[in-house]
Structure 1
Amino acid sequence: MEEKNLYLSHYNFTEKPFQITTDPKFIWLGEKHLEALSTLKYGIVENKGFLLLTGDVGTGKTILINCLVSKLDIEAIIATIPDPDLEILDFFNSLADSFKIDKKFESKGDFLVHLKDFLHKAHAENQNVLLIIDEAQRLNHKLLEEIRLLSNIELYNKKLINIFFVGQNEFNDILMQEQNRAVRQRITLRYNIDPLTKNETREFIKHRLEVAGAKGNIFTASAIHEIYLFSSGYPRLINVICDHALLTGYTKGIKKINVRIIRECAEELKIPVKEKKIEISKTKSINSDDEKGQEFSKKLNEKIDRIDEKSPQFVKMAYIIAAALFLLITAYLINSLTSTTSPNWSADELTTRKYKDSLQQEKRSLSAEMEEANKVEIIPADSGNNKEKSLADKEKFLPSPDQAIIIYFKYNSNELTDEAFKTLHQIAEYMIHNPEAKITIKGYTDSTGHYRYNINVSKFRANIIKSYLAGTGVDSSKIESLGLGPANPVATNSTVEGRRANRRVEIEFNY
């Protein structure tokens, strides 16, 4: 206790700033977190049924969910299953206990009867019911199906329970399995949370220090840069490194944490660096033949460390820029001379249908259109009759700056079909193997309803697709999502056919 007080007094803290806890006053929300909160809150308030939040280990999913629950301004009954790796009957009893249903169940039928009564009573009292399933990647197929069937308990076509999956990125792969198709189709809103950027890492550290009572900067600029490199922007790792660094500074009698202390802590914690000290976006690593370039980089970084607390910021930036230019040119020359690899996907392997101004082929009856909503406009890569071509070859697409992949939506709907998921999956694979590719996702609506509502709906639809692609491993910085509402109609809004054509999301490739 005395050592803790000395630790705090050394830095003039009122409490430790980097404890791994869910204390709400230490929560820092960046733009991506606020967007996630807005999207998921919308799904809960509007009773959208199944929601999904994914992210890598340590990105702050649990903290975000706790924040979401605290900010709900509706009457809600909330149950949380922290670990769903259970037998079916054990899961039902755990759920009943969370909902304070005072009974031990011996059969599925008995549980469903009581759950139905519970949900009807909550509805009569104008209460939303939310089930949060954390660590969703631990769910097996049988339990996923049982959870899906819980959502069949409805009243006047209104969902009586919202089911919120929270899991690591592997859960997206589980959902893509054919046997889990029914669950995948019901997820109406999804969001993938990425690690923090370098600037967000700086703001995250600054916020926690200020909450703890710090006066001024305790970590130097180069130390924060090193923290970002070692942590890759994962909040949990940032907390671990910073806490260890402060303890090291205390034991050495140092009040200003520099880059050398961060490296020492990273070595003690056995944390490998995720990137080079000088960041070159999307360049291949320099091979062993480039010893001069590596030696230059090493000496330059040492130079930066020595002047970190003595030189003006612009001087340090000049060194960094010079190093970046040197390594970029060197990497380009080496890769041009030695690279023999080619992308797994060639440009000829993908294809889309040209954007059509005419709606002659879209005309059909209202009932038929509702049955075929969410249609993706594509053309198979092999439109011939060669039976030796595999099905996979027939389903690949060619991205083109002059063409758009178009996904249509029903009125007031955010659901995606299997065909849409397959298309997005192939887009994800193409972008992963072609890191220079960028896309713009544009969400549109028809002109029915209020303009602001349509803007929000179109933005949600665009973000659904962006989040799915990011969850499969696509660099989110390569994806721009826009909600344009009723703008840029491709048809008249005075007919059913025209309104259906205007309710769409366009995916455009940029190079």
Structure 2
Amino acid sequence: MYKQYFGLREKPFGKTPDPRFLFLSAGHQEALARLEYAVEEREIALLTGDVGCGKTTLSRALMDRCGSGYRFVMIFNPRMGALEFLRAVAHGLEVDEPARSKEDLLRQITGRLYELYRREISPVLVIDEAQTIGELAVFDEIRLLTNYQMDEHNLLSVLIMGQPELRTILRYQPMEPLRQRISLHFHLNPLTPEETMEYLDFRVTAAGGTAGLFTPDAVQAIFELSGGVPRRINTLATNALLVAYGNDAAVIDASIIQEVRDEVTL
């Protein structure tokens, strides 16, 4: 539809995380640098941000940067019991048949971590949407997983990601043992108005189009409606492209953004 009309090779504002379309604002650059450091040093890092700010996309970009010397274990839905959590970790570490008992599971995980260490492969546990964890025991298992060491080096690095309320959860006194082990903290803020314009131009050109497709007044309207949150920007921009295509418009201005605002903000 609109791709050919605007000279695009692909959709510039897709919903799925794609590192090719990762716009590194100052905040994203710093967050990615901290995550890289945590992985290299096998530390525990905490990354928070509002829904749609790009946390999951950053984790995908981190995987691409780290290369073959790392084994990423991704847990996207950690709302589970402690035993289920350990089984998910074991499965991610490619344990053939994760055990049913905690004692056997820990034995399997330990063996796998030491095996990866001997092969000079660094495992990285990424826990997304960690604010949905409902059992204190799961947080305790996360802490205990960092006890595995060899030659004074941790065998596992852990990246805990979630929405801002995760920081409130971690302030509770029972979380103190885990909180003390988190060496890196970062909160990912929404884009500024200037970054919103850069973001729109970046994604349009990455898709094969030309910068300037969104006029300055359209960018301001998008920023005000989205609050600078990339996922909301994507929704507004996609709908605006469809409306502009239907209206035979060469550029997208504020009037088009106002036309789609009711549908998008519903």
What band does the TM-score fall into relative to the shorter chain? over 0.9
Corresponding residue SS for 2:11: coil
In the alignment, structure 1 residue 249 sits paired with structure 2 residue 244: yes
- Residue 64 of structure 1: aligned partner: 58
Distance, in Å, in 1 between the alignment partners of 2:22 and 2:42 is 27
What is the letter of the counterpart of residue 88 of structure 2?
S
Letter in 2 for 1:172: R
Output the CA distance in 2 between the equivalents of 1:259 and 1:77. Answer: 46
**Cα distance, 1:157 vs structure 2:** 2.9
Counterpart contact for 2:7–2:209, Cα < 8 Å? yes
- Kept in 1: contact 2:18–2:60 (CA 8 A): no
Q: Which one of the candidate residues 128, 142, 149 is aligned to 2:144?
A: 149
Q: Greater CA radius of gyration, 1 or 2?
A: 1
- Report the equivalent of 1:96: 90
Distance (Å, rounded) in 2 between the aligned partners of 1:212 and 1:225? 22
Counterpart amino acid of 1:124?
R
- Residue 22 of structure 1 aligns to a residue whose secondary structure is coil
Tell me which of 57, 75, 79 is aligned to 2:73. Answer: 79
Decide whether the 8 Å contact of 1:8 with 1:15 is kept in 2: yes
Query: Which residue of 255, 269, 275 corresponds with 2:264?
Result: 269
Residue by residue over 1:286-343, the C-alpha shift from the partner in whole angstroms, topping out at 9 and shown as x without a partner, is xxxxxxxxxxxxxxxxxxxxxxxxxxxxxxxxxxxxxxxxxxxxxxxxxxxxxxxxxx
* Mapping for residues 321-400 of structure 1, pairs under 5 Å: none
**Percent of residue pairs bearing the same amino acid type:** 34
Counterpart Cα distance in 2 of 1:32 and 1:259: 27
Shift of 1:206: 0.2
Q: Aligned pair in 2 of structure 1 residues 216, 183: CA closer, same or farther (>3 Å)?
A: closer
> How far has the Cα of 1:9 moved from its partner?
2.0
2:109 matched residue in structure 1 = 115
Q: State the Cα deviation string for residues 455-475 of structure 1 (Å, max 9, x = none).
A: xxxxxxxxxxxxxxxxxxxxx
Give the paired residue count: 265
User: Partner residue of 1:164?
Assistant: 159
Maintained 8 Å contact 1:231/1:237:
yes
**SS of match in other structure, 1:9:** helix
Read off the aligned partner of 1:148 and give its amino acid letter: R
Q: Which has the higher helix share?
A: 2
Contact 1:10–1:255 under 8 Å retained in 2? no
**CA spacing shift, 1:216–1:154, aligned 2, 3 Å:** closer
Q: Which letter maps to 1:68? A: L
TM-score, length of structure 2 as denominator length: 0.95
- 2:150 corresponds to which letter in structure 1? L
Q: Shift of the alpha carbon at 1:17?
A: 1.2
* Partners of 2:201 and 2:211 within 8 A in 1: no
Deviation of 1:199 after TM superposition, in Å, equals 0.6
Whether 1:21 aligns to 2:42 is no
Match of 1:219 among 214, 218, 230: 214
- Hey, what does 1:228 align to over in structure 2? 223
Residue 125 of structure 1, aligned match among 108, 119, 134: 119
Kindly indicate whether the alpha-carbon contact (under 8 Å) linking 2:23 and 2:199 is maintained by their aligned counterparts in 1: yes
Is 1:55 the equivalent of 2:30? no
User: Cα RMSD between the aligned structures?
Assistant: 1.4
Using a 3 Å threshold, how does the CA distance of structure 1 residues 163 and 191 change in structure 2: closer, same or farther? Answer: same
Structure 1 alignment gaps of length 5 or more: 272-511
Give me the whole-angstrom Cα distance separating, in 2, the residues matched to 1:161 and 1:216. Answer: 42
Alignment check: 8 A CA contact 2:123 2:157 kept: yes
Give 1:253's aligned amino acid.
D
| C-alpha displacement of 1:26 | 1.5
Distance 2:83 2:34 in 1: 32
Question: Which portions of structure 1, spanning 4 or more consecutive aligned residues, are displaced by more than 6 angstroms?
Answer: none
Please list the CA deviations of residues 64-105 of structure 1 after superposition, one character each: whole Å capped at 9, or x if unmatched.
111111111571111011110012222122111111100131
Q: Which is further off, 200-209 or 260-269?
A: 260-269
**Per-residue deviation at 1:38?**
1.3
The C-alpha deviation readout for 1:261-292, integer Å capped at 9, x for no partner, is 10121112236xxxxxxxxxxxxxxxxxxxxx
Contact 1:130 1:162 in 2 (8 A): yes
TM-score (norm 1): 0.51
Alignment-derived partner of residue 293 in structure 1: none
Q: Deviations over 1:408-464 (max 9, x none)?
A: xxxxxxxxxxxxxxxxxxxxxxxxxxxxxxxxxxxxxxxxxxxxxxxxxxxxxxxxx
- CA–CA distance in structure 1, aligned partners of residues 241 and 106 of structure 2: 53
**RCO (CA 8 Å, sep 6+): is it higher in 1 or 2?**
2
